[in-house]
Chain A
């Protein structure tokens, strides 16, 4: 037997072997008989490296959505040597009523292309591969127009995984106005995109308050913790409704120079109202969710915009301008 078996051949052989068994195979049976392991198996010897390999392979296979399950031998619970592994066919195969029409396939192809990069794009690619195995041909998408989204939040993927696995998470979060990031421990509930930005809806472990976090302000890695208690409900819809409410309540009044970049762009923002107009100034009412983000944006317009209200926004913009001035003086 050749010593070196490609990884995909070992994983493929493992899936085939576990699909073909009803009773399941013990770890020892797998390591001693399945292609990719058996050539390196030493009967009666030390197989710890091979066992670790098997543990990693199991994770890889499960990540692909293959339901690799363990069965305990009757009366022998807790004895790992007797634990049996198998892949139940019914949980592995796509249910027969889940089939897609050419139109649906085309729509899914379009949905898969929305994610331009990052983990969602890799997951979409694999999903489309499985979809193609059903044979339906997706022609050019029904819409010749495919918007593409660039997802730049490194916290997205680990949070999504934690939610799917039902785990609590810990992360450092930098709130605007605070000088240092503070650790948060939460039950992650849903990820929602509101006006182009991703938010995490979560329940704080201490106190149980519901909070919405802006992914961009998560600093450093996401660490998963204990399994989280179940929290049924449509958290995504609730989070979006909450953000919409904040947006409707948040109103800023600014003056901009007609014909300036600020005037052109701020007038095209969602919900902007023209509150007054003269040859020299336009008065605009803007809606916003987050004061700090709006302040950053307005500071970038420099002298083209003057914040009238609220006072907190005025102060925030002035503070930003002073900081930029001082750093470049």
Chain B
């Protein structure tokens, strides 16, 4: 099973199944709206460089050559109704068909209606502005003045006022700074890691990516000890040191799974019941859950190697997540809570214990 939000099994992101071969980042299929945005973007780009090849256009826009060909073929027969509402020849875009079909070159020979690139929508501008906000909120990151001027430019280039979205400045985090430098320089990092069983280990990791979910930061990387992709909570890492060894596994080679934690083939099976509201929040930690749910409680079965992470996850989600079985798993959760309550014996209802120090 997976690593809970709060408390968790150590660097023990469950074993991923045999590391998947790298998936070249295939562009997602486009919806009609995306396709329209694409057409409106492609035309001015082509106007500015007559004779671009299909492959150049594909590389520039990050789509497949087929998507470019399909778009060019559509553009070539599109236009305006014109004076006689008949879409006559001069009212349509045209291309040099021979150059296109024989040499894969795109030469526009007649232009219609479009002169320049479209504005951003308010939401598009807002998404980029929020992303910039996030970047500028990171400690020691980027040039704040440059970011502010970029945000102003995006607002000017938007067709409507972007909704105000802001991200609070992040505090400086020493671990994050070290990990970040290691990712940037492509160097292995050695770190101390405390797992949820309370075991401390030094690990050597090829750091690949830093991600955050809610308040929590994660390092995803190749663990040399486990010989597998692992997810590490940043706040469980101690004394990270950048080595002089270049990383051995690259992002494109190991293929990071989409979710933080993938199903594992551990031996213990646990049956859980979740409140629907908890499903999107826990989807990352409990592989196999749908991304969202509504209505009835959701039941799912996960595999774990031990119950240490489970009791923490359940404890941090009171009333939202219940272990149905097996009895040993229920007992582990129960006893964890009982042991905690024992510390409050006698003054559970608020009489303050003597503070230390």
Mark each residue of chain A from 106 to 136: 1 if its CB lies under 8 Å from any CB of chain B, else 0.
0110111111100111111111011011110
**CB of B19 within 8 Å of the partner chain:** no
In the bound complex, how far is the Cα of B234 from the Cα of A146, in angstroms? Answer: 16
Partner of B164, one of A6, A130, A236: A236
B contact residues around A152 at 8 Å (CB): 213-214, 280-281, 283
Distance of B141 from chain A, by nearest CB (Å): 7
Residues from 321 to 357 in B contacting A, C-beta threshold 8 Å: 322-323, 330-331, 333-334, 336-344, 348-350, 352-353, 355-357
Quick check: B117 and A65 within 8 Å, CB to CB? Answer: no
Q: A33-B81, A94-B116, A160-B163 are in contact. Are A303 and B339 (CB under 8 A)?
A: yes
Q: A114-B135, A235-B164 are in contact. Are A164 and B318 (CB under 8 A)?
A: no
In the bound complex, how far is the Cα of B185 from the Cα of A64, in angstroms? Answer: 38
Closest residue on chain B to residue A152 by CB atoms: B280
Quick check: A237 and B39 within 8 Å, CB to CB? Answer: no
Quick check: B168 and A195 within 8 Å, CB to CB? Answer: yes
Mark each residue of chain A from 309 to 329: 1 if its CB lies under 8 Å from any CB of chain B, else 0.
101101100101111110111
> What's the dominant secondary structure at chain A's contact region?
helix
**CB of A58 within 8 Å of the partner chain:** no
Quick check: A19 and B114 within 8 Å, CB to CB? Answer: yes
**CB of B36 within 8 Å of the partner chain:** yes
Which of B119, B124, B165, B171 gathers most chain A CB within 10 Å?
B124
Which of A12, A61, A281 gathers most chain B CB within 10 Å?
A12
In the bound complex, how far is the Cα of B331 from the Cα of A323, in angstroms? Answer: 14
Quick check: A107 and B160 within 8 Å, CB to CB? Answer: no
Residues from 144 to 172 in B contacting A, C-beta threshold 8 Å: 146-147, 150, 153, 156-168, 171
Q: A265-B236, A309-B352 are in contact. Are A8 and B39 (CB under 8 A)?
A: yes
Residues from 56 to 113 in B contacting A, C-beta threshold 8 Å: 60-62, 74-75, 78-81, 85, 87, 112-113
Distance of A156 from chain B, by nearest CB (Å): 9
Mark each residue of chain B from 192 to 226: 1 if its CB lies under 8 Å from any CB of chain A, else 0.
00101010100000000111111110000000000
In the bound complex, how far is the Cα of B347 from the Cα of A35, in angstroms? Answer: 77
Quick check: B319 and A323 within 8 Å, CB to CB? Answer: yes
B contact residues around A114 at 8 Å (CB): 130-131, 134-135
Quick check: B211 and A148 within 8 Å, CB to CB? Answer: yes
**CB of A219 within 8 Å of the partner chain:** yes
**CB of A169 within 8 Å of the partner chain:** no
Quick check: B150 and A197 within 8 Å, CB to CB? Answer: no
Which of B8, B117, B198, B348 gathers most chain A CB within 10 Å?
B117
Closest residue on chain A to residue B283 by CB atoms: A152
A contact residues around B12 at 8 Å (CB): none
**CB of A163 within 8 Å of the partner chain:** yes
Closest residue on chain B to residue A319 by CB atoms: B318
Q: A17-B80, A124-B131, A253-B355 are in contact. Are A302 and B311 (CB under 8 A)?
A: yes
In the bound complex, how far is the Cα of B28 from the Cα of A129, in angstroms? Answer: 13
A contact residues around B162 at 8 Å (CB): 164
B contact residues around A194 at 8 Å (CB): 168
Quick check: A297 and B6 within 8 Å, CB to CB? Answer: yes
Quick check: B339 and A296 within 8 Å, CB to CB? Answer: no
Q: A124-B124, A328-B323 are in contact. Are A144 and B119 (CB under 8 A)?
A: no
Quick check: A144 and B183 within 8 Å, CB to CB? Answer: yes
Q: A107-B135, A216-B281 are in contact. Are A325 and B334 (CB under 8 A)?
A: yes
B contact residues around A11 at 8 Å (CB): 32-33, 36
In the bound complex, how far is the Cα of B78 from the Cα of A23, in angstroms? Answer: 21
B contact residues around A193 at 8 Å (CB): 134, 166-168
Which of A8, A89, A93, A265 gathers most chain B CB within 10 Å?
A8
Interface-side segment among A45-53, A76-84, A255-263: A255-263
Quick check: A95 and B157 within 8 Å, CB to CB? Answer: yes
B contact residues around A189 at 8 Å (CB): 164
Partner of A126, one of B34, B39, B114: B34
In the bound complex, how far is the Cα of B148 from the Cα of A107, in angstroms? Answer: 12
Partner of B216, one of A65, A124, A196: A196
**CB of A9 within 8 Å of the partner chain:** yes
Closest CB pairs A-B (n = 9): A276-B357, A300-B316, A65-B121, A111-B131, A196-B215, A236-B166, A133-B41, A311-B350, A127-B124
Residues of A within 8 A of B (CB): 6-9, 11-13, 15-17, 19-20, 32-35, 38, 60-61, 63-67, 89, 91-98, 100, 103-104, 107-108, 110-116, 119-127, 129-130, 132-135, 137, 143-150, 152, 154, 160-161, 163-164, 189-197, 216, 219, 234-237, 239-240, 243-244, 253, 255, 259-262, 264-265, 268-271, 275-278, 281-283, 296-297, 299-303, 305-306, 308-309, 311-312, 314-315, 318, 320-325, 327-329
